[in-house]
Chains A and B, each alone.
Chain A
């Protein structure tokens, strides 16, 4: 028997198929910060903003010279290479973008002296992986084990820079078999390298990019099918980057030929830019970007705006009265 579908029925089936949730749970980081009251496990990926991506086929990273007492340089270099290779050696299933290895690769540029997370808008950079042995410089009682900072162009979603910090004031497990209850260094850096490449947290509880780890576990060292789908969705085997329409009307961009040099060149040293101050406060002395005095200017301007707003409010009340 042949089933004939009326137009409305066809439309309904089409709508249902289009609306069906995709099987994958991976998410991409976007230029729009996820609000704290948005729960991706209920509402799906946060799809506002533009998805992030590295435009070049090759990206470099560098490891802080001397690394850590806990994780000596040679061990750090070995484990971080393994972590990155989990992502860059991924083979994508045969899809519309073809099959084969993902179109992103990494290069270890070796040890760097710089131990600061920074992006230099006007000069050379490094994508540093930094170890904090003597103090964790954040407001979190040292409970953060690793942080990856990603700098991007908010008009396109292109990633310009990424740096990673490892909190080695906490005991980390670096053995092939994870200590029971231990925080596995290789699992942590495999997860963080996913962020480095533009992945956000997955809602798949088994994925490396899932937002919860179980101490003593080493399953995060290996990508799941969901992680693979995620990285393949950004860096397709055919060399195309899937981007927002704002970056390319077709929604894709061809990869740039392999050049792992960071934006504006490479330097192993920390070098701050000499950009003009962003301060708009006349009371603040001129300073370069990053100069705390420019902070004073901006905050003073904000405080002044507050005072003016209050005066205006009082004034309007008087007028109204």
Chain B
């Protein structure tokens, strides 16, 4: 256990040491199909935020959220905890609003689709080991809530920013529509089924 904790600290430090100066933002996005969300992700997990650290990177504020992994729904094993990097936050008296970014609240679980965070610059991406980002930004985050009947369900994030829904008869099912309102267990099944189609063994 101690080894793992130290390893975590080391991984986080090493990952952070390789971070470039990198800033945070309102947005307009194309709505993502569930399959695209799955295909672009390394894992889908139910996670509960534990702690958050916001800091300046370049001229932008970035927030790192450490979350407990409650369940791995699909994809690579992540361990008990995961660090997720999002744009925006508050440092001292300054804040940066980044609409369309996922927003984590300590103690509030979410189903999230994760991919390895990378250096955010134009051109080829450079991965940041040990740090994850939410695939599709807020479109990849589904808060876990309890409904009036006490059922645990997932809902789509209200923070996705402005969405454009592509036209076309062959338009696949959008992630938000596919999962919104499902019982958590059903949502996990739906993700796992889509995952098996989107990620060849």
Contacts and interface: CB of A to CB of B under 8 A. Distances in A.
A295 B57 contact: yes
A295 B16 contact: yes
B53 A40 contact: no
B56 A140 contact: no
Interface in A258-311: 272-273, 275, 278, 283, 289-307, 310
B158 A148 contact: no
Interface residues of A, number: 84
Given A139-B118, A305-B51, A147 B27 contact: yes
Contact of A212 (B103, B124, B165): B165
Contacts of A35: 103, 105, 108, 143, 158-159
Given A213-B162, A272-B59, A151 B94 contact: yes
B90 A145 contact: no
Interface in A217-270: none
B120 to A, nearest CB: 4
Nearest to A115: B122
A152 interface: yes
Contacts of B94: 119, 121, 151-154, 160
B45 to A, nearest CB: 16
Nearest to B166: A215
B58 interface: yes
Contact of A213 (B8, B97, B163): B163
Contacts of A290: 21, 56-59
Contacts of A306: 5, 8-9, 50-51, 66, 81
Nearest to B10: A303
Interface residues of B, number: 89
A298 B86 CA distance: 15
A316 interface: no
B55 A272 contact: no
A192 interface: yes
A108 interface: no
A174 interface: no
* Highest count of chain A CB atoms <10 Å: which of B6, B58, B124: B58
A188 interface: yes
B17 interface: yes
Interface in B1-22: 1, 5-6, 8-9, 12-13, 15-21
Contacts of A301: 53
A201 B9 contact: no
Contacts of B162: 191, 201, 210-213
Contact of A299 (B53, B118, B145, B163): B53
Given A138-B120, A139-B117, A278-B91, A216 B13 contact: no
B188 interface: no
Contacts of A163: 25
Interface string A31-57: 101111111100000000000100000
A36 B138 contact: yes
A24 to B, nearest CB: 19
Interface of A: 29, 31, 33-40, 52, 116-121, 132, 134-135, 137-141, 143-155, 160, 163, 165, 170, 180-181, 183, 188, 191-192, 195-196, 200-201, 210-216, 272-273, 275, 278, 283, 289-307, 310
* 6 closest cross-chain pairs (CB), A and B: A118-B59, A195-B26, A303-B9, A149-B25, A36-B157, A296-B16
